[in-house]
Amino acid sequence: MGGPPTGESHTAMKPPAAYTVRPFPPERQLTIEGGQLAVRKHTVTALIEADVTLARRRLRAQAAQTGVALSFTAFILACLGRAVNADRALHAYRDWRGRLVIFDDVDVNISVEIDHEGRKKVLPHIIRGANTRAVRDLHDEIRAVQARPAATRSLRMAWFVRLPRWARQVFYWYIFRNPAALKEGFGTVGLTAVGMFGQGGGWAIPFGVHTLDVGVGGIARRPALEPDGGLAQHEYLCLTLLFDHDVVDGAPAARFTERLRELIESAYGLAEYPGEDSAATPPSTRAGVSAA
């Protein structure tokens, strides 16, 4: 008698679903536009692993002896800058006349997680001249950005996201035809270290906005064969390399990939510590790294 009419859906009687509405962060619009720029490039992707057992061991020893835990990202930055320095065509850009402009300084655009206005935020920051700087110097700059993000150029340019979209599109059109302006505003190489936000192995594939972009993924642990025939746990870093094939051919890209792997596996820029066992060094890198 008093029940619902036959066939009426019971779901209609449920209360509205609970939800929260938040404003869309304006800086995310720049990420969307970065993706739009990336799809215009002819990108070649390489997924590789690098044995970071020795490097991680030296970083832990450094922290134990000095009390300073050096940034793993700073170590990768030093290796990346050195590897690009050996063949600077890896960060060349075409100007409006179609010529290749090859810079001496390797300026790396990185993402730094900061606390800003009560929330976590990823801040783009350009590390200048990474090809000529030590790991500790790079570490100090990253920590300075985290400590005082308001002093960085990226936050001071917050006005850019408030421009109309058409004005930003004009800016992108101009800057990607003027390599000097591109270097100043975006850097010459991109490095995305998403592996620092999680545990375990895995590759990240970032946007390919630069001629060379590097994605630092997770670190996997698995047994590896030692020179004496035994097995030991090693740590392998997952790396994604994105090359703009309009600028970089396959052979230079392959040489760069091997050079970067050798630098990382030989713990480039990290000092040896007393009592270090040569067996801790991956066999492929014991002959050293070329001075190139």
Q: What is the CATH number of the domain that holds 117?
A: 3.30.559.10
* Residue 288 counted as domain residue: no
* Residue 6 counted as domain residue: no
Residue 288 or 242, more confident: 242
- pLDDT of 225 higher than 70: yes
Mean pLDDT confidence for 257-262? 97
Q: What is the pLDDT of residue 179?
A: 93
Mean pLDDT confidence for 216-224? 90
Q: What is the pLDDT of residue 117?
A: 64
Count of residues making up the chain: 292
Q: What is the pLDDT confidence band of residue 37, given thresholds at 50, 70 and 90?
A: confident
Q: What is the pLDDT of residue 292?
A: 32
- pLDDT of 36 higher than 80: no
Using alpha carbons, select from 32, 28, 79 the residue that is nearest to residue 52.
Answer: 79
* Residue 286 counted as domain residue: no
Q: What is the pLDDT of residue 278?
A: 47
pTM listed for this prediction: 0.80
Using alpha carbons, select from 201, 219, 253 the residue that is nearest to residue 91.
Answer: 253
* Residue 199 counted as domain residue: yes
Strand bridging mode 119-127 / 108-116: antiparallel
* Residue 284 counted as domain residue: no
Q: Which domain holds residue 234?
A: 24-271
Q: What is the pLDDT of residue 286?
A: 38
Q: What is the pLDDT of residue 155?
A: 58
* Residue 4 counted as domain residue: no
248 close to 89: Cβ distance less than 8 angstroms: yes
Using alpha carbons, select from 153, 53, 84 the residue that is nearest to residue 112.
Answer: 153
* Residue 292 counted as domain residue: no
Cα–Cα distance for residue pair 13/190, rounded to 1 Å = 53
Number of domains in the chain: 1
* Residue 86 counted as domain residue: yes
Q: What is the pLDDT confidence band of residue 284, given thresholds at 50, 70 and 90?
A: very low
Q: How would you classify residue 117: left for phi > 0, otherwise alpha for psi between -120 and 50, otherwise beta? A: left
